[in-house]
Amino acid sequence: MKRILTLAALAVLVAALPAAARTTFISIGTGGTGGVYYPYGGGLAEIWTKNIDGIKAVAEVTGASVENVKLAHRGETVIGEIMGDVAYQAYYGKGKFEGKPQNILAMACMYPNILQIVTLKGSGIENVTDFAGKTISIGAPGSGTAFMAELVLKAIGVDMNSFTVRRLSFNESANALRDGTIDAGFWVVAPGTSSIMDLATTHKIEIVPFTAEQQQKVVDKYGFYAAWDLEAGVYRGVDAPVPTISVWNVIIVQKSLPDDLVYKLTKVLFENNAYMQQIHPFAKYSTPENAVGKTPIPLHPGAIRAIEEAGVTVPASLKP
């Protein structure tokens, strides 16, 4: 009887502990180690763990956007880094999520991802219309890169059955280009990303450009994409701007997360922007203004509170 009473008393004591004494674990779905999602997610984990009492955040290696949506929807993670095109279709139950809207909301926008199709000089690929008969990596299974590759090629009218499709991660694509087992690879990531930069130090690379007409076709078909010129000099040997396509990245959260928790996470993100820029310069885009101006889906109520405290008005269309 004494043991039962002791356990019961212990349970009451634990329940009575102040919130600050408890630990809330935050899992962040990122991507592969060869892109920007993983180090950006590591930065989020660091600033959240350091600046919010009772929070222990960890960045998880995943297959990126599509997988991160599914993980958040199932409750296996609570935060996900995903591309805006995936966010839009997942929230509204369209495309690959047809009839299955996912239980997610936006916290903030991270930065624009730039579509970079990499090939080696002498490959014979000067445009996506030259893919016929080639071997092309469109990105890892479940990644936003593969998701975007399919949509963009469809908009332009490039038949994916006309070339051999490989589904490789960024690091795997870079190695396959080195080995000559693929002719080109898709990267949808903030430039410059380490896997392309490393490849460019040992091989002469080219970034496949889009024509203005192709850019317009993509933008007209999908409102979440925009034309973009990749700056000259980002990668060794790429000395002129390259016309391509961009899409914004979104930090998503489970709909069910408490408002106060999301408020704290969002507030700390905005307050530590300078530190996040040390991780990647594109973090300069992770602002309250872009959270409102670039997100394709409604914001979590906790995020709305942090954004409005920063002096930015959130329109009714972004309130769930």
Q: What is the pTM of this model?
A: 0.81
Residues 63 and 135 in one domain: no
CB atoms within 10 A of CB 89: 24
Q: Are strands 24-29 and 226-230 parallel, antiparallel or unpaired?
A: unpaired
AA letter at 134: K
What is the predicted pLDDT for the residue at 8? Answer: 42
Considering 227, 247, 267, which residue would you say is the last residue of a domain?
247
Write out the chain's pLDDT in tens, 320 residues.
333 333 344 344 444 445 445 899 999 999 988 788 999 999 999 999 999 999 999 999 998 899 999 999 998 999 999 999 999 999 999 988 999 999 999 999 999 999 999 999 999 999 999 999 999 999 999 888 999 999 999 999 999 999 999 999 999 999 999 999 999 999 999 888 899 999 999 999 999 999 999 999 999 999 889 999 999 999 999 999 999 999 999 999 999 999 999 999 999 999 999 999 999 899 999 999 999 999 999 999 999 999 999 999 999 999 98
Give how far Cα 41 sits from Cα of 48, 60, 103, Å. 10, 8, 21
Answer whether residue 2 is part of any domain: no
Distance CA 214, CA 48 (A): 41
Residues 217 and 172 in one domain: yes
Token couple for 153: 């090629």
Answer whether residue 260 is part of any domain: yes
Distance CA 171, CA 35 (A): 8
Residues 120 and 224 in one domain: yes
Distance CA 182, CA 123 (A): 10
Residues 266 and 278 in one domain: yes
Residues 36 and 104 in one domain: yes
Distance CA 70, CA 143 (A): 11
Answer whether residue 148 is part of any domain: yes
What is the predicted pLDDT for the residue at 63? Answer: 87
Distance CA 113, CA 127 (A): 20
Task: Assign residue 302 the CATH number of its domain.
Answer: 3.40.190.10
Runs of H (alpha helix) within the chain: 2-15, 37-51, 65-74, 84-92, 144-156, 170-179, 194-202, 212-221, 259-271, 273-279, 288-294, 301-309
What is the predicted pLDDT for the residue at 18? Answer: 53
What is the predicted pLDDT for the residue at 14? Answer: 41
